[in-house]
Amino acid sequence: MSKVKKIVIGTLGFLVLAAGIVAGTYLVSKNQDIREKAAPSTSLSFFPTVVTKNPGQTFNLTINADTGENKITGIDIEISYDPAAIQLTQMKGTASIAPLSSIIKNGEINNTTGKARFVSYTAVKTDAISGNLDILDISGNILSSASN
C-alpha cells in the first residue's frame, strides 16, 4: 500500500471519528423527555348517589364505571361500611363485565368487619371493556339497631 493511500485512509478514519464525537456530544447535550403520558382516569360512582332508608328497610345500589379512554382488563373493588348499621346481602357483577370472566372474589361479603370485595379480570386483551358501564349490583338491609 502506498504512502498516499495510507494518509488518505488515516485522514478519512480521523474525520469519521471526529464526526462521531461531535454528533455524540450534540445528542448527549439535548434534553429528552421520554416519559409516557399519564393514563386518563377511570371514575367509579354509586347510583343512586343518595339513598334515604329507615331501619329495617332494604336497598339496592349499582356501581358505575366510566372508563374514559381506558380499556379495562380487570376490576378490584373493596367497599367498607358500618356493620353496626348495614348488612350487605349480595354483591354481583353485571352483564357489562361478563368478558372479565376470571373471577377471583365473587362478591365476598363480611358483615362482621364491614368489608365487601369483588375481583375479576381477563388475560385476553381483546376482551377488555370500556365505556360508561354498570359493573356491580349491591343489595343490603338497614339494620333495626341503626340509629337515625
Residue pLDDT, tens place only, 86-105: 999 999 999 999 999 888 88
Distance CA(128)–CA(71), nearest Å, equals 6
Distance CA(49)–CA(43), nearest Å, equals 14
The mean pLDDT of 59-85, rounded to a whole number, is 93
Burial of 134 (0-12, 13-18, 19+ CB in 10 A): middle
- DSSP-H helix ranges across the chain: 3-29
Residue pLDDT, tens place only, 7-45: 767 777 777 777 778 777 777 777 766 666 666 788 999
How is domain 43-142 classified at the CATH fold level? Answer: Immunoglobulin-like (2.60.40)
The mean pLDDT of 53-75, rounded to a whole number, is 93
